[in-house]
Structure 1
Amino acid sequence: MKQHSILIVDDDAFIVDLLSDLLDVEFKVFSALNGDDAIKILNSLSVSLIISDVVMPGKDGLDLCNFVKNTPHLSHIPVILLSAKSEEENKIQGLHEGADVYIEKPFSPSYVKAQVVSIIENRTRILSFISPKKTHGDNLITEEEYFINQLNNIIDENIAYPELNLNLLAQILHMSRASLYRKIKSLAHCTPNELIEDRRLNQAVTLINQGFYKMNEIAFLCGFTSASQFTKSFKRKFGQSPLNYARLHKLRV
C-alpha cells in the first residue's frame, strides 16, 4: 500500500513517532504539529487519510476536520480523530464535523492500524468502482460525474425498498453519513433524501408510461410506503396527481 499516504497531525511528538513507526512500513507517512501546518501539507501533497488529535494549539482537530470535509478537492479524504475526551457529546461533535472514526486515548496501536487499513481498502475498492471512465465516444467524464452516475445506479437497484436512505447508501459505499451527505449536497445540489425521492418519481413515470401497472403497484415498486405518500410526492414534483398524469397521456390506470 506504499502508494497511499497518511498525514498524522498531533502536537505530541511521542504520538507522532508511535504512529509513524506503526504505519511507515506500508504507507508513506507525513506529519504536522497542528491543523494550520496540516492544511499547508494538504495544499501541496496528495493524502489518502488523515489521523488527527483533537486538542492542539492553533487550528485543532475539529477545525481541521471541518475544513477538510468542506473543501471540495479534499472532502473525500477520510479523517480519524484521536482524543482523550471520551464523553459521548465529544464523539458526537467529532462525527458532526465529518470524522469517519473517533478513537479515544489511550488507544491500541493495533486497533488504529486496523482502522487505517480497513478504510484505505474500502476506499480503494470504491474508487475502482467510481473511477473516471470513457463515455460512448472519446469524451472523458469526471470522477464527480461518474460518482453521481453510480450513486444513481445504486439507488435504482434498491428503489423498491422503503428503507433506502442516507444510512443505507453510506453502508453500501463504506462512507460516513456526514461525508456522503456533504458529497451528495455538493455534487447533486440536493439532499440525499431529495435525490432518492427524485429517482423514485422518475421510475414511477417510467412505469406509468409502460401502462402495465396500477397506481398502488407502482407506489409499491418505487418504494413509497403508501399510495397517499406517492400521490403527495408526485404532485409536488409534477404539479398533478399520478392518475391525472396517466389520463392526460391516455394511459391505462
Structure 2
Amino acid sequence: MKTKTTILVVEDNYDMREYIKESLSDSYAVEEAVNGEQGVRIAETIIPDLIISDLMMPKMDGNELTRILKNDERTSHIPIIILTAKSGQENKLEGLQIGADDYLTKPFDIQELRVRVENLINIRRKLQEKFSKGDFLARRTDKKLKSIDEKFLAKVLEVIERHISEEDFSIEECSSEVGLSRTHFHKKLKALVGKSPSQYVRTVRLYRAKQLLEGAVGNISDIAYSVGFSSLSYFSRCFKEEFGHTPTDNQK
C-alpha cells in the first residue's frame, strides 16, 4: 500500500487550519501545528513532504520557521509555501529570499493552493530522479554544488565510496559518519533520492562497478568484489535490474 504524502499545516487560526486540512486530507496525510515554534518541532520529528505555513503567528512567524528549517540539514529539502494576509512585492520577496518555495496571499482559492502543492511535490520527484541517477554521482566532487541538499548528498557519496569494498558496511555506520541519526538519515535520503539508504548504497556500488567495467579495469568478478558484492550471481542480477543489461553486455 502506497503511503500518502505528508503535509504539515502551520496556522494559528483554527478555522483556516481546519479549512486547509479538510481540503487536502482526501489526497494527503495532513499534520497540524498552531504556531511556528511547534511547527519547527513537528517538522524536525516527522520530516513532512511539504509545509504550508502562515506568515504572522505568535511565538514564531512563518519567515523564522522557514529560515530555521531551510538551514537545518535534516529539513532543508522540505518545500515550504507561505500564506499571508500581507500584499505587495516587498513582502513576497522577503519570504522567497529566506528560502520559501512559494507564496500565496490570503484570501486564496483552495484549488490554487492544491495546484501549487502538487507542483512543488512534482518538482521534488524530478529532483529525486536527478539525484538518484548517475549524472549526480558523476559530478559529486563539483565545487559548484551550492545547496545544502547537494552538499549533503556529496557527503553521503563520499562516505559510501570510502567503504565501497566492504560488503557488511551498515546503514548505522553510514548515518553515523554522515552525522545524522538512523531515522533522520533514512527520511532525508528517501526524500532526496526516493530510495532507502540500503537501496541507495547498492545504487552507488552498481554505478561504480559500471564505471570500472566501461574502463576495462579488471574482470567482472574482481570488479564485483571491489564494490562490495561477494556473490557474482547477485551482482549480475542487481546490475541488470539497475541498467537493463548484464555486466557482460556492458563490456561488449
Structure 1 residue aligned with 2:21: 20
Structure 1 residue aligned with 2:185: none
Unaligned runs of 5+ in 1: 136-145, 156-165, 170-179, 190-253
Structure 2 residue aligned with 1:102: 103
> CA offset at residue 125 of structure 1?
2.6
Which whole-Å deviations, capped at 9, do the CAs of 1:62-91 have from their partners, x for residues lacking one? 000001110011000000000011121110
Looking at structure 1, the residues matched to 50 and 139 of structure 2 have their Cα atoms a distance apart, in angstroms, of 23
> CA offset at residue 36 of structure 1?
0.8
The 1:34/1:152 distance shift into structure 2, 3 A limit, reads same
Which whole-Å deviations, capped at 9, do the CAs of 1:95-154 have from their partners, x for residues lacking one? 1110000110111100000000111122123213323x7x9xxxxxxxxxx85646789x
The 1:104/1:184 distance shift into structure 2, 3 A limit, reads same
Looking at structure 2, the residues matched to 125 and 150 of structure 1 have their Cα atoms a distance apart, in angstroms, of 18
> CA offset at residue 182 of structure 1?
4.8
Q: For the Cα contact (< 8 Å) 2:10–2:36, is it kept in 1?
A: yes
> CA offset at residue 185 of structure 1?
6.7
| Structure 2 letter corresponding to 1:69 | K
Q: For the Cα contact (< 8 Å) 2:140–2:154, is it kept in 1?
A: no
Give the SS at the match of 1:44.
helix
The 1:43/1:107 distance shift into structure 2, 3 A limit, reads same
Give the SS at the match of 2:107.
coil
| Structure 1 letter corresponding to 2:114 | K
| Structure 2 letter corresponding to 1:109 | I
TM-score, normalization by structure 1 = 0.54
> CA offset at residue 14 of structure 1?
1.1
Over the aligned positions, Cα root-mean-square deviation in angstroms equals: 3.0
Which whole-Å deviations, capped at 9, do the CAs of 1:193-244 have from their partners, x for residues lacking one? xxxxxxxxxxxxxxxxxxxxxxxxxxxxxxxxxxxxxxxxxxxxxxxxxxxx
> CA offset at residue 187 of structure 1?
6.7
Is 1:93 paired with 2:102? no
- Moved runs in structure 1, 4+ residues, more than 3 A? 146-153, 180-189
Give the SS at the match of 1:15.
helix
The 1:74/1:84 distance shift into structure 2, 3 A limit, reads same
Is 1:53 paired with 2:48? no
The 1:45/1:119 distance shift into structure 2, 3 A limit, reads same
Structure 1 residue aligned with 2:41: 40
Structure 2 residue aligned with 1:120: 121
How many pairs were matched up?
A: 154
Is 1:78 paired with 2:96? no
| Structure 2 letter corresponding to 1:116 | V
| Structure 2 letter corresponding to 1:20 | K
The 1:151/1:102 distance shift into structure 2, 3 A limit, reads farther
The 1:149/1:62 distance shift into structure 2, 3 A limit, reads farther
Structure 2 residue aligned with 1:65: 66
Looking at structure 2, the residues matched to 3 and 149 of structure 1 have their Cα atoms a distance apart, in angstroms, of 32
> CA offset at residue 40 of structure 1?
1.5
The 1:39/1:120 distance shift into structure 2, 3 A limit, reads same
Looking at structure 1, the residues matched to 10 and 67 of structure 2 have their Cα atoms a distance apart, in angstroms, of 14
Match runs of 1:167-246 below 5 Å: 181-183=147-149
Structure 2 residue aligned with 1:31: 32
Which whole-Å deviations, capped at 9, do the CAs of 1:41-68 have from their partners, x for residues lacking one? 1222130000000000001100000011
The 1:103/1:21 distance shift into structure 2, 3 A limit, reads same
Give the SS at the match of 2:23.
helix
Looking at structure 2, the residues matched to 90 and 2 of structure 1 have their Cα atoms a distance apart, in angstroms, of 36
> CA offset at residue 16 of structure 1?
0.8
